[in-house]
């Protein structure tokens, strides 16, 4: 993430996402997608984002996370049958 500091004059705010697959919404084109994120991987992504924010105390400590309930795209923090509260526990573990 350090390259953003050199390439852009505006502040960079890290974004962390869980799976993203909008392809069910498209009949023909298959858009880019990201799958296979687990609570453990998500926790690692959160730690990297937090390290970046902690290393930049001169800007607001903002990290965005996608998304609470984008079920149709497979990107959601809400508890489910596969991982339970895993994603929410990862957030708590990193930021509490």
pLDDT in tens, 6-35: 777 888 899 999 888 777 777 776 667 777
pLDDT score at 67? 85
pLDDT score at 29? 67
Alpha-carbon distances of 13 from 7, 54, 59, 74, rounded to whole Å: 14, 12, 9, 23
Residues in a beta bridge with 80: 84
State percent of the chain over pLDDT 70: 94
Q: How many Cβ atoms are within 10 Å of 56's Cβ, its own excluded?
A: 17
Q: Do the Cβ atoms of 63 and 15 come closer than 8 Å?
A: yes
- Of 89 and 31, the structure prediction assigns the larger pLDDT to 89
Q: Indicate if the pLDDT at residue 66 is higher than 90.
A: no
pLDDT score at 16? 94
The rounded distance, in Å, linking the Cα atoms of 34 and 17 is 9
């Amino acid at each position: 993430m350090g390259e953003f500091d050199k390439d852009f004059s505006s502040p960079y705010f890290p974004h962390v996402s869980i799976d993203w697959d909008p392809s069910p919404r498209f009949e023909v084109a298959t858009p880019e997608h990201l799958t296979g994120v687990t609570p453990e991987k998500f926790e690692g992504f959160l730690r990297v984002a937090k390290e970046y924010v902690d290393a930049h105390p001169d800007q607001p400590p903002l990290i965005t996370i996608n998304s609470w309930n984008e079920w149709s795209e497979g990107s959601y923090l809400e508890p489910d049958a596969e991982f339970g509260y895993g994603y929410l526990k990862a957030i708590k573990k990193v930021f509490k």
